[in-house]
Structure 1
């Protein structure tokens, strides 16, 4: 844990606080599990939050996910400038928050309005679908991706297949696993989700093969 009291004193003594200063303070409070204090500070904020500040605040709302967080998150989103919707860090953070709130439609609207989607944006909404047990929709979107996958893509899609456990899930999951580049085969998080998927699909032998190959 950081020295929050010292940081707060330094923050209070700073005149003409910029978004950079606010973002640093919000980040410090949130990383010390003090999201409520971050919201108190937001209430006192006299300048409009920029895209980085919003991304941090959306993250806090998602982590807290209580009535106050829900209200603040929606208000920030309503007031967010239109051009921030193409900022992948901000829009991804907003999608994560909305999915955590169970507000699928609003998350999808943010996703659709982003004209510069990257793989992280896709991962966020697929992860949100999985978290809300909308596995078919997660796979529908996965099949529309024309970008290079990263470790998170493999993890969330394996999780979607594990949740669905039908013929489609088996086909997509096993094909994805076969085509997965070698460098992801040493990633513990990816391998755990792959083994979990295979076990759920009833393919114990393949799950054990992955485990043996990793332990060698």
Structure 2
């Protein structure tokens, strides 16, 4: 709770006062570091867990992968991944976290390799891979994967991710087509499409889109 309010020092004092700490206690502290922009501290905590023979559970590994995503340092990523047990690596939430991590760290081939290993892909898995393509300037691949994604798995977040990919790659036709296919155009969807149009200097069309939305969505 203290971490949620940004009181990192108090949370650390309480953590140090607990004599018998399990993976859940370590995980809570590391999660707090991620929430407060101090992800680098997670790696120190991980080393402490190893010294005290505390085995991370799936949640703790997930949090560590989140720290790796925020750090953006490939050597940290590989170091952590090399120590994850195989039975944990096969969990879909861990695989999704790996896709997200590799994508954010610029190692798109590693992200694709993990994605290809996922048997029962869900919305989050597809979205993580689409976002990975988007972050690495691979708009065409993001659109192709979105098209492969079953319709029932597409949601608000995946739609924003693929429109962002189009925006950064200058894929105006693809963005328009996808946008027109979206039945529920939320404010976030509109904002993303406006950004796409503005990046390509389609200011009149962007303004028209804003005005049309405001007409039907008065405050």
- TM bin, normalised by shorter chain, reads 0.7 to 0.9
Structure-2 residue corresponding to 1:154: 159
Aligned match for 1:124, one of 128, 133, 141:
128
Q: What does 1:96-107 correspond to in 2, within 5 Å?
A: 96-107=100-111
Structure-1 residue corresponding to 2:46: 42
Name the CA distance, whole Å, in 2 between partners of 1:36 and 1:201. Answer: 37
Q: 2:135 touches 2:165 (CA, 8 Å); kept in 1?
A: no
Structure-2 residue corresponding to 1:175: 177
SS at structure 2 position matched to 1:49: coil
Structure-2 residue corresponding to 1:31: 35
1:129 deviates by 1.0
| C-alpha spacing 1:118/1:85, structure 2 compared with 1 (3 Å) | farther
Residue 52 of structure 1 pairs with residue 64 of structure 2? no
Structure-2 residue corresponding to 1:61: 68
Task: Between 14-23 and 77-86, report the one with greater CA deviation.
Answer: 77-86
Name the CA distance, whole Å, in 2 between partners of 1:193 and 1:52. Answer: 32
1:196 deviates by 2.0
Name the CA distance, whole Å, in 2 between partners of 1:83 and 1:207. Answer: 49
Q: 1:23 touches 1:52 (CA, 8 Å); kept in 2?
A: yes
Q: 2:99 touches 2:128 (CA, 8 Å); kept in 1?
A: yes
In structure 1, stretches of 5+ residues that fail to align are none
Q: 2:103 touches 2:136 (CA, 8 Å); kept in 1?
A: yes
1:144 deviates by 1.0
Q: 1:61 touches 1:72 (CA, 8 Å); kept in 2?
A: yes
SS at structure 1 position matched to 2:148: coil
Residue 187 of structure 1 pairs with residue 187 of structure 2? yes
1:15 deviates by 3.1
Q: 2:131 touches 2:161 (CA, 8 Å); kept in 1?
A: yes
Name the CA distance, whole Å, in 2 between partners of 1:120 and 1:133. Answer: 20
SS at structure 2 position matched to 1:16: coil
1:94 deviates by 1.6
Q: What are the superposed Cα offsets for residues 91-136 of structure 1, whole Å, 9 maximum, x if unpaired?
A: 2222121112211111111111111211111111111111111112
| C-alpha spacing 1:124/1:21, structure 2 compared with 1 (3 Å) | same
Count how many residue pairs are aligned between Structure 1 and Structure 2.
207
* TM-score normalised per structure 2: 0.84
In structure 2, stretches of 5+ residues that fail to align are none
Structure-2 residue corresponding to 1:108: 112
| C-alpha spacing 1:10/1:194, structure 2 compared with 1 (3 Å) | same
* TM-score normalised per structure 1: 0.85
Q: What are the superposed Cα offsets for residues 64-113 of structure 1, whole Å, 9 maximum, x if unpaired?
A: 224xxx32321221222334344333222221211122111111111111
Residue 5 of structure 1 pairs with residue 9 of structure 2? yes
Residue 208 of structure 1 pairs with residue 191 of structure 2? no
